[in-house]
Structure 1
Amino acid sequence: MNKKNLDNRDKKVEKDVIEGEITEALPNAMFRVKISDGRILLCTLSGKMRIHRIRVMPGDQVKLETTPYDETKGRIVYRLK
């Protein structure tokens, strides 16, 4: 690999971390999450949460990540107590 490809690989996309509440559980570990500004996002569980079998149910408060490319989807990364 040349130096140019190595430089591009180090740049990562900034992910926004948002808090929200789960409103609906869907198949395949997918959830609808309502965030503070009123939008409803379609979110999936992160890999670490699946591996450690962290249960997430409607009504739970969660932290989720979104990318600037698609603001309608997210990934649940933490369940708040």
Structure 2
Amino acid sequence: MKMEKRQNMIELEGLVIEAHPAGFFRVLLDNKKTVLAYISGNIRQNSIRILVGDRVKIELHVCDLTKGRIIHRFRKS
């Protein structure tokens, strides 16, 4: 089953700088802005751990650029 890209969404990359309770994270984007992001359902189902210092890809809605959803965690090299 192929996932469709949602309309009005922006994908950006950043670094997790702070972990909050209940799966919320503060992410420093590559453009030096910080956003509050939560874990997407796919990451939660696959039990992927997100830690401070991880590089992630987040999805932002164009109406609210202060909150986002973590959709991918990059492997450490």
Structure with greater proportional strand content = 2
1:15 equivalent among 9, 24, 33: 9
How far residue 70 of structure 1 moved from its aligned partner, in angstroms, is 0.2
Question: 2 CA distance for matches of 1:33 and 1:55?
Answer: 15
**1:24 alignment counterpart:** 18
Residue of structure 1 aligned with 2:35, choices 21, 41, 54: 41
Which entry has the higher C-alpha Rg, 1 or 2?
Answer: 1
TM-score, normalised via structure 2 length: 0.87
The answer on 1:76 being equivalent to 2:70 is yes
What RMSD over aligned residues (CA atoms) do the two structures have, in Å? Answer: 0.9
**In structure 1, what is the Cα distance between the partners aligned to 2:57 and 2:32?**
15
For residues 43-62 of structure 1, the aligned pairs below 5 Å read: 43-62=37-56
Q: If the length of structure 1 is used for normalisation, what is the TM-score?
A: 0.83
User: Number of residue pairs matched?
Assistant: 70
**Cα offset for 1:13?**
2.6
Q: CA deviation at 1:33?
A: 0.1
Q: Give the unaligned 5+ runs of structure 1.
A: 1-11
For structure 2, the 5+ residue unaligned runs are 1-5
Higher helix share: 1
